[in-house]
Amino acid sequence: MAIRRSIFLVNNLSKQLASALIVFSCMVTITAFAVPAIEEYGRLPAVSNMRISPSGNLLAFRKTANDKDYLVVFDLQQQKILHSVDLSAINPQHFYFLDEKNLVLIVSDYMRIQGYRGMHNMSSAYRIQIEKGDVDQLLTPGYKIYLGQLGLGRVVGLNKSRTHVYMPAFIGEPHVEAPPMALMRVNIKNPRKIKAVYTGRNHTVDFFIGPDGEPIAEERYNDRNNLHQVLARHGNSWEVIYEQEVEIRTASFAGITADGKHLVMLQEDGKTKRNNYYLMSLADGSLSRTNFGRPDRDVEELYEDMNRVVYGVRYSGFNPSYSFFDSKIDTFVTSLLAKFPEHSVWLSSWSNGWDKVTFKVEGSQYAEDYFVADRSGKIDYITTARPNIDVADINPIGTFQYSASDGLKIPALLTIPRDKIQNMKNLPAVILPHGGPESYDRIGFDFLPQVLASRGYLVVQPQFRGSDGFGGDFVRAGYGEWGKKMQTDLSDAVTVLSKKGMLDPDHVCIVGWSYGGYAALAGGAFSPELYKCVVSINGVSDLPKMMRSERRDMGRDSWVLSYWSLAMANGDASNEKLKSISPAYFSDQFKAPVLLIHGERDKVVPIEQSKVMHSRLKKAGKDVQLIVANDDSHGLIDGENRVKAVKAVVEFVDQNIGR
């Protein structure tokens, strides 16, 4: 088997590394090469979202280069491109094959909606006819479909003859105050032919399709009375089989069994405190445990077909792991992971019967490389997302664990300058908290840690309390700890690595995105002596303002408000409490220079959050600059903007802690 990137192991790690208990993802040989330009790290991936067709003969993927952005369909047998669609004018989210002739493309448009103020991110689904290149929108607002909705990109099922897809949508005239959500049957060849096959309520959130291609279950959640329900079809009637009164949903219904008799439910296990896999009978709502729960991992993702029939699961962890119901599929996938030890292997699509799969590999030896494998053991390298980043350019990634001030064990990732791996002493460092905050980092080619490490900085990514992926107790340990223990978890990493002699405490910056941007600003406000520079990308600074914005956008009864109140302040989200942990109200305490970067049309964290911080720091006479990413969103999805942002971050860090 020939795989493009070879793996080399360093057998003699220094005593310093051994004493720090750092485990590395396939250490690499140290060779002197020119460091890639900063732009190469900031560019959008050249290839992404690779999918294989049901027959296993076609691949579809997104290809970006310079100002070009295409969806490409490639014939594996003929080794040629069949068709490409220009995506430059839209924001593609993902796509997949319906069959050998049709693709579904999900896009997000930033647009005005008739009768509503402001601009909004609108999700839509399109059918692409591969042979002719025809593109048709599957559901169009205003044609039986309620105008005032943002999410029309979901396909929840396919009929048996594969001529129609099922899509949830609110229906009714524009003046209706509480339109119901219906399950729409959409003709694939002629999307104007639509029919509501089942109509739910205004607070319906999901539908499930059975083996006969008909709806078998409806999920509801009512924000006003906090009632979470599941209704099942019993003959010609619908009956409630699940009912819980909860401010925040704790059960996630995400799939069905092949026989259509059970829903798959993900929920925390009371014993292990890990997200577990349960089956709920559609006959009577009874729950049964399965063997797919693990005491050391959360069930994180389901692998399911177009009708959401579940084949297997993915578990949490710095590297993903998997389990499948079919023992042959399980053996097949396990053998793939064994070929790439200590790397993240991401399964992305599969053919009928799982005879072929596409997957992406990333870590210390692979910068997002794509492969196709079959059950015979053959693995074909397809392409890389980073054509100008060679294996010799990747900085090694390690994992370690340290004790926080109160004794809680904090997992972390380290990205280490490759030329310093044998002499990790007194390095300038960047603390890089992740977003979420209920999220976590993985071993992979993360462009920010990689570009900073390529410039000589030790990059530390603490998985602070409140992070997901490490069990329910670890998440709950972060409730009410914004600006408090979630911050000291970060500063404790500096203390631990400084004591080991690996990090220079006088040369540390903090950089973060989204919640990580909040944590960076909180570091500047509440630990002003620790950090020599602060970078916030699309970060929150004013929590009372954020809550007002959420209340306006989501409604005062929304569970979203309950979640943020719990996460930020353990349920006591008074204005004064939120002010006390908001960096914008402590601008006078900053000592380090601050760089703010924000997407102009960010709808997740509005740009006003950075504008407020910038204004107050300026008024306090502090060193601050604001870079606006024009016409861009929370993820900085515009290639030019992302490159500019990465260059600005590196230059700013260099100015303040570079040597």
CATH number at residue 498: 3.40.50.1820
Alpha-carbon Rg for the chain in angstroms = 25
If one counts every other C-beta atom within 10 angstroms of the C-beta of residue 496, the result is 21
Whether residues 34 and 135 fall in one domain: no
Q: Classify residue 550: in a domain, yes or no.
A: yes
Q: Classify residue 88: in a domain, yes or no.
A: yes
Q: Quick one: pLDDT band at residue 14, thresholds 50, 70, 90?
A: very low
CB 53 within 8 A of CB 351: yes
255, β-bridge pairs: 264
Provide the 8-state DSSP code for 587. G
Instruction: Give CA–CA dist 450/25, Å, rounded.
Output: 14
In this prediction, residue 22 carries a pLDDT of 57
Whether residues 189 and 96 fall in one domain: yes
Domain span including residue 165: 47-247+291-384
Half-sphere exposure of 291 (CA within 13 A, CB side): 3
Q: Residue 28 pLDDT more than 60?
A: no
Q: Classify residue 64: in a domain, yes or no.
A: yes
Instruction: Give CA–CA dist 630/636, Å, rounded.
Output: 10
Q: Residue 584 pLDDT more than 60?
A: yes
**Mean of the pLDDT values across residues 641-650?**
96
Instruction: Give CA–CA dist 148/279, Å, rounded.
Output: 35
| Of 322, 318, 324, residue with least CA distance to 343 | 318
Whether residues 22 and 109 fall in one domain: no
Which of 384, 404, 435 represents a domain boundary (last residue)?
384
Report the CATH number at residue 345. 2.130.10
Provide the percentage of residues in the chain whose pLDDT is more than 90.
71
Q: Quick one: pLDDT band at residue 495, thresholds 50, 70, 90?
A: very high
Sorted by sequence, the CB contacts under 8 Å of residue 229 that are 6+ apart come out as: 219, 220, 221, 222, 240, 242, 243
Whether residues 380 and 427 fall in one domain: no
Go through 366-389 and write b for each residue having 16 or more CB atoms within 10 A of its CB, e for each that does not.
bbbbbbbbeeeeebeebbbbbeeb
Strand 252-256 versus strand 262-268 pairing type = antiparallel
In this prediction, residue 33 carries a pLDDT of 56
* Range with top average pLDDT, 127-136, 244-253, 455-464: 455-464
Q: Quick one: pLDDT band at residue 2, thresholds 50, 70, 90?
A: very low
Q: Residue 262 pLDDT more than 90?
A: yes
In this prediction, residue 121 carries a pLDDT of 60
Query: What is the per-residue DSSP string for 372-432?
Result: EEETTS-EEEEEES-TT--GGGPPPEEEEEEE-TTS-EEEEEEE--GGGTT---SEEEEE-
Provide the 8-state DSSP code for 328. H
Q: Residue 129 corresponds to which tokens in the numbers above?
A: 């006819």
| Residue 79 identity | Q
Which of 384, 414, 429 represents a domain boundary (last residue)?
384
Whether residues 336 and 424 fall in one domain: no
112, 202, 407, 521, 560 from 401: Cα distances, Å? 47, 46, 12, 24, 32
| Of 508, 528, 536, 532, residue with least CA distance to 593 | 532
Alpha-helical runs (H) found in 455-555: 472-476, 485-499, 515-526, 543-554
Instruction: Give CA–CA dist 262/36, Å, rounded.
Output: 52
Whether residues 333 and 424 fall in one domain: no
Q: Which residue has the tokens 């030890």?
A: 341
CB 294 within 8 A of CB 315: yes
Q: Give 444: exposed, middle or buried? Use CB within 10 Å, 0-12, 13-18, 19+.
A: buried
Q: Classify residue 269: in a domain, yes or no.
A: no
Q: Which residue has the tokens 């630990």?
A: 527
H or E element in which residue 649 lies: helix 639-657
Which of 342, 362, 384 represents a domain boundary (last residue)?
384
Contacts 24+ apart (CB under 8 A), 218-223: 219/253, 221/249, 221/559, 223/555, 223/557, 223/558, 223/559
Q: Classify residue 263: in a domain, yes or no.
A: no
Q: Residue 152 pLDDT more than 60?
A: yes
Q: Three-state SS across 434-456?
A: CCCCCCCCCCCCCHHHHHHHHCC
Whether residues 184 and 306 fall in one domain: yes
Whether residues 143 and 86 fall in one domain: yes
In this prediction, residue 175 carries a pLDDT of 72
| Of 474, 471, 506, 484, residue with least CA distance to 410 | 474
What pLDDT, in 10s, does the model give residues 615-636? 999 999 999 999 999 988 898 8
CB 461 within 8 A of CB 472: no
Q: Residue 535 pLDDT more than 90?
A: yes
**Mean of the pLDDT values across residues 558-577?**
91
What pLDDT, in 10s, does the model give residues 431-461? 999 999 999 999 999 999 999 999 999 999 9
What pLDDT, in 10s, does the model give residues 56-108? 999 999 999 877 889 999 999 999 999 888 887 777 778 899 999 999 988 87
| Of 430, 649, 615, residue with least CA distance to 523 | 430
394, β-bridge pairs: none
If one counts every other C-beta atom within 10 angstroms of the C-beta of residue 509, the result is 29
Whether residues 414 and 558 fall in one domain: no
Helices H, strands E: what count in the chain?
12, 37
Backbone φ, ψ for residue 248 (5° rounding) = -130, 125
**Mean of the pLDDT values across residues 200-226?**
92
Q: Residue 18 pLDDT more than 50?
A: no
In this prediction, residue 389 carries a pLDDT of 93
| Of 244, 287, 236, 242, residue with least CA distance to 262 | 287
Instruction: Give CA–CA dist 449/430, Å, rounded.
Output: 9
Q: Residue 177 pLDDT more than 50?
A: yes
Whether residues 57 and 101 fall in one domain: yes
597, β-bridge pairs: 537, 627
In this prediction, residue 3 carries a pLDDT of 41
Q: Residue 9 pLDDT more than 60?
A: no
Q: Classify residue 252: in a domain, yes or no.
A: no
Is the previous residue joined to 45 through a cis bond, with omega within 30 degrees of 0?
no
Q: Which residue has the tokens 């709806």?
A: 215
Q: Classify residue 265: in a domain, yes or no.
A: no
Q: Residue 629 corresponds to which tokens in the numbers above?
A: 């990413």
CB 625 within 8 A of CB 597: no
Q: Classify residue 363: in a domain, yes or no.
A: yes
Whether residues 308 and 418 fall in one domain: no
Whether residues 240 and 198 fall in one domain: yes
Torsion of CA 66, 68, 73, 79, to 10 degrees: -40
What pLDDT, in 10s, does the model give residues 277-299? 999 999 999 999 998 999 999 99
What pLDDT, in 10s, does the model give residues 331-383? 999 999 999 999 999 999 999 999 999 999 999 899 999 999 999 999 999 99
What's the number of domains the chain is made of? Answer: 3
**Edge-to-edge strands of the sheet including 594-599?**
23-24, 397-403, 409-415, 458-462, 427-431, 503-513, 533-537, 594-599, 624-629
This prediction has a pTM of: 0.90
Using CA of residue 445, residue 451, residue 452, residue 456, what is the dihedral sign? positive
If one counts every other C-beta atom within 10 angstroms of the C-beta of residue 241, the result is 19
In this prediction, residue 34 carries a pLDDT of 73
The alpha carbon of residue 389 and the mean position of all alpha carbons in its chain are separated, in whole angstroms, by: 23
